[in-house]
Structure formats: structure tokens, C-alpha cells
Structure 1
């Protein structure tokens, strides 16, 4: 069903109604992902008083070819229309070379970015560390003693940042009885089944147990680690996560529009995946990272933090991980993927097709927002990675 046929009647017909039960399922996600605030409680992330201007420098790049997710030759123009893409922005040297919108999106429509939220959270950590508000080598329970009986009792903030926690949690998005289902109930993302006792997100985090692996020696991708990181920030700053994000990152980088983040019944904010932002503001964020933390001449994120992301990821830990086949020769540091260690290509990546792709040599930032039906489709991930690389090659 086309996105423009959803939620258009008053009231909508049952087959066109987007609800808490179906908002992440196709075709309802094409409306749900850009209207999260109408489905879930949220907290505001205030933008800048004076936004950073984005100049236009259009390039005809729709003809660029690459091998698509189905193994067949395609072009950028065709792929945008054939792969549930909602927004696509290309910045070259900080100017908009191309932007494309579908499914009711525009340059200023907030869209959920799922685990791209993690990279935003990891970036914020560098600012807080630079301000002396926390130390990555501090113990988590020095900030959040409520976690002393959980797996996080033996962790440092650095373990959270690098997904190096030995936690017994399986990040399987499609297991109907798995850890992720219970996690979504705690975050308020899914209705609680009848007869099941309610639990809030922070309470759920405190229940997480170890898997016997030593912290710091592995890469094991688990979203709850980032939610704990957001909780640590709140304790370090004595502020809600949304306000910290606005004060230290979102407003200083020159965001044009307010962002927002989902919250649970106890006002816990989903740092791991609940941020909703506009395409152009996500492009501004990516460009700041490309410029080594600088936006409009101002050092927003310490340049050393960006350098650390590029230089300190552990390729051996990555090679042993469950995601190694998806991004061969990658590494992970401070919630960012370095997918090409030679060319220093950085990516932020979220389920259902959300991307930031940063190619320093090509002076390029690419944003993709999407409403893919499958949370994690490896063929689509690889297809779009080839597409991004082809765009970078065009500009080199």
C-alpha cells in the first residue's frame, strides 16, 4: 500500500491504520518511521537558535551505476525508487550535491534513525569526556549503582562505547520470543501482551546477565549497552539525555530543526535507537564528523575523539564478531563503524536501511533514510555499500 494511502481518512480504515502494533512492519512503517511522535511518547531535542546554512551545489549523479542488492546492475536513480528509500542526501565539501525524497518525506521531516542513534550517543561521549564530566575508563556502577547486580557491574564506560561487554543478550530482531521482544516491551515500542507484568527500560537493563566472556576482549553488538551509556550521561550531567544531547551537540553543530527521542513509561530515553531527526540535520551531523568535529568554524567534538575512532578500533575483535561478514575488514570504536580502514571510511548504520556514510578522501557525506520491510537484510546492506562507494569513486 502506498504511504499516501495510510492514515488519510478520519478515522482511517482498519487496513490503513498505523498503530503501536504495526508501525515497524511494511507497509505501515513508511508512515510510522516519519510519524513516531504520533505513536510513542517522546522528549524534545532542541535545535540551534541560528542553524548552519547548507549551500546547494547540484550534481547529476543519478546515472552512477553499481551492483544492486539482487546482484544485478542498477543506477542510483533506479535504486532509490526500488528499495524503500525515504530520503537520500549527498554532501560534497559541505554542499548539497543531491537530495531525493519519497514516501511523504521532505528535507525537514523527522525520521527515526534506529541505531544511527548509537553513533550520535558515542559522539556525545567524546564531548562529555573533554569537558571532564566523565572518564571512559570509569566504572559504570560509579555512576549507576542500580546496575551492581547486573552484567554491567564489571564494565567501564569504554566497554559500553565499544560494544565490548560480555553480556548474554542475543540481538535477533526477528525472534518472536527472544531478548529483543522483551526489550521492546520495556522501552514501550510494542504493546505489552495480556497477562505479562510491565517493566520499564531501566529495570530491564538491571536484569541483564553475563555470558562468561571477559569484558573488553570481544565485539558483541547489543543495544542495551548504549541505553546504559545514556543513563551514565544523565548521572554525569544531572540532566535528561535529550537536554544533554541538545546542549552539547545538537544545538552547537547548527541543527535547523528540533529532533526528538522516544521515552518509556518512566521517562527513560532510548539512546540506542529512538532518535528521530531530519535528513538535512543528519547530514549536518555527518559533515561535522567529516571535518574532525568542526561545524561552522567551531570545534564541537574534540578532534582527538574522531582520531581515536579512526585509529583505535580493534580489527581482531571485529573479525571474531557476528557482523564480520557484513562489513569485512572493519572495526568498531565509540559506536561508529570504520568499514574501510585504509580509506578511513566511517559509517553509522541502523536497521530498516538507515545510514551515514563518510568518505574523507572524496570529501563526501551520504545520508540514507528508509523503511525497508526486513530489519537487517545483508544483501541490501552490501548493495547500498557498493552504491555509496561508487558515488565516492565518481567524485575522486
Structure 2
């Protein structure tokens, strides 16, 4: 049983002399519960960052509130719960439901507001994937671009022999243990290049160069691993001569008319963290969702999904009926959904067929989203039925 949600203001979490020392959020504890309840809304106070430029005039979000109080579905323990219980019990910081272009539900909890940027973790990967897919669609780069040709520093690593497409679809075959529950796993050592300059001062590029093991030949199996997104970002930087923030601004944020405060966290080498660094408001994610639901070559190719056979090799038991394309999860079970997810409860769920998008930002006690997938699935199914 997970601990109950807390109010960080009542608990005294934060930074400052008035906060008891054992309650202060620090560079060492900010990603752990309960300190994350405060930290995910204040990352710029904890980690170096760079602003993300958006549209001068953000796209309007019309409002058409709907009453969701009548929704009922099975909770985590099999009991019947309502919508409010679901939202409150899942450590929600912000949630928006967008239907037919209008916001029908919007809530902020845990001290968050509509203007507060929230740490998105691996939703960042999906935004970076949009940049890459747009550059490929425009002919600015090729999907078959060899990783080591663009980034020679990776030529002696296991990334040699991989292509940009294989990175974007996570079929590159690099061996990497992303078990957050195991404190000795690769992901915890690698993340020092994000947050711990005294351990890994050079950032992600030298850390990527040390990944020298394979578990599969390139292009033969899917497996989800965070550093692959950082490798893809280095390919994009070198192929374009541009910073990642400028690429996201030009190819995603401004076209979607996102315009609230947003920023990228920087790795220990001073570069934007592509695997986990974007911070943005729930409303800007709603604008991004509406932009993608409008369709177009990139959005249409993403919702069509990746190679389901390769996905089944590496993730058959993780998410049945899914595939992975351009750093997006794709659920092929009707209605088809395009999904961006980040640890600790971040989720952007888009159903183009139903003109429906659900944005959830949270600060859960546990990083993994796998255990909560069934509950969210039941909640979204009840919502879908209600809207019909």
C-alpha cells in the first residue's frame, strides 16, 4: 500500500532557513518521496536550466466544463471509486481533460497552479522525438543517419553500427539496466551525468561513450532505455549545429503555440537533458496534444506506430497491444492512443479518433508507472464511455 498523499506546505518541505534541516529539499533527495512533492514544481532552484522559448501568443484553450462526478470504476484494490477519489489518491499535481478542442476538466493540487512548470521526466523523450521526426519529414536529416557518423565520440561504444531510426524506436540493442528499484542498476550510475557534477562532470556524452555492451543486434528487438534519447539528441545537435532547446522551440513548441514558462534542465556538461529534462505547464501539454490531434505527416506516422514484432520481442509482457515509435508509446487496442510517459506519474494520453487528450502531472512515491497503468486504463475507459 502506498503512503497517502501529503501537502508539502503542511509538512514543511522546501528550501530556506525556516524549514527544518531534515525536511529540506536538496540536490541529493529531490527525486525521492516526499521531497519530490515540492521539488517537481521548483527544479530551477535545484538544477541548472535554460529557458525554452515558446509562442509570443499562446494558443487559447476554450473551456467547456463537464461534470465527471458520476464516473465509477474499480480502484487499485478492486473497490468502486469515483473520479475525485482517483485524482486525489494518485498524487496528482495537475490534470487536464481536453475533448473536442475544449478543456472539460482542469485541476491543480499540491500547491501547483496553471502557470507552474512541472518536471516531465521522460515525456521529454517524446518531445525530442517530435523534433527528430519533423527534421526527417522535412528532409533536413535522414532516418538512416549512422549514430557514429554524426557523433564520432560514440564510434568505439556499443552505439557504433546503430542509426537514428533505431535510436528513436529503441531498437538499437544497447545493454542497459533501467531498474529504478535496484540502486546498483545502470540507470542510477548513468544519471550521475544529469545531477552529480562531482561524480560525472562531463555530462551525458562521455557517459554514453562508456556504454560498450550489446544485448541484441541493432534493429532486432525493442527495449526501453533512457540514455538512448540522450544519444539521439547528440545526433540532432551535431547534424544541425543547433542546441536542443532551439530545435524544440522551432519545430515543436512554437508551431503548437505553447507559450507558458518552460525550461530544460542541463546535464553536468551544460547541455539539455533529452532523456528527462523538460519542465512545462499542463496547459502547454494540452496545446501540444491539440496540435498533434490536428494531424499531419508526423502525427499520422506516429499514431500508426512502430514495428509490433520487435516490440513484442522486448516488451510483450510490459504493455500488450503496444508498439514504440519516435520515442512515443502507441496503444493499438481500440481506440488507438499516442502516449508520452514519465516516471513518478507524468502522462500525456492522446486519442485522435475520439478527439480526446488527458494530461496528468504528479509526484508519486514510486518512480515506475507500470503498476499504475491498469488503474489509469480503467479511469480513462470510464471517462471515454461517459463522454460518448
TM-score, scaled relative to structure 1: 0.92
Q: How does 1:45-60 map to 2 (within 5 A)?
A: 45-60=52-67
* Aligned partner (choices 282, 297, 300) of residue 285 of structure 2: 282
* Aligned partner (choices 282, 306, 322) of residue 313 of structure 1: 306
* Aligned partner (choices 145, 151, 154) of residue 147 of structure 1: 154
Whether the 8 Å CA contact 2:192–2:200 is kept in 1: the answer is no
Deviation at 1:68, TM superposition (A): 2.0
Whether the 8 Å CA contact 2:66–2:105 is kept in 1: the answer is yes
Report the Cα distance in structure 2 between the residues aligned to 1:72 and 1:378, rounded to whole angstroms. Answer: 20
Deviation at 1:63, TM superposition (A): 2.6
Whether the 8 Å CA contact 1:69–1:384 is kept in 2: the answer is no
* Aligned partner (choices 110, 123, 133) of residue 140 of structure 2: 133
- 1:375 is aligned to 367
What's the CA shift string for 1:71-122, capped at 9, x where partnerless? Answer: 3221111111111111110001111100011011111100011111111111
Deviation at 1:391, TM superposition (A): 1.0
Give the ranges of 4+ consecutive aligned residues of structure 1 lying more than 4 Å apart after TM superposition. Answer: 196-199
| Unmatched runs of 5 consecutive residues or more in structure 1 | 293-302
* Aligned partner (choices 23, 26, 36) of residue 29 of structure 1: 36
What's the CA shift string for 1:140-189, capped at 9, x where partnerless? Answer: 1221111100111101100011000111101111211121111111112x
Deviation at 1:211, TM superposition (A): 1.8
Instruction: Work out whether 1:210 is the aligned partner of 2:202.
Output: no
Q: How many residues align?
A: 381
Bigger Cα displacement from structure 2, 149-158 vs 137-146: 137-146
Instruction: Work out whether 1:168 is the aligned partner of 2:175.
Output: yes
- 2:101 is aligned to 94
TM-score, scaled relative to structure 2: 0.94
Report the Cα distance in structure 2 between the residues aligned to 1:197 and 1:366, rounded to whole angstroms. Answer: 37
- 1:395 is aligned to 387
Provide the aligned C-alpha RMSD in A. 1.7
| Unmatched runs of 5 consecutive residues or more in structure 2 | 1-5
Residue 99 of structure 1: SS of its match in structure 2? Answer: strand
Deviation at 1:386, TM superposition (A): 1.6
* Aligned partner (choices 254, 257, 260) of residue 257 of structure 2: 254
Instruction: Work out whether 1:331 is the aligned partner of 2:323.
Output: yes
Whether the 8 Å CA contact 2:53–2:259 is kept in 1: the answer is no
- 1:269 is aligned to 272
Residue 160 of structure 2: SS of its match in structure 1? Answer: helix
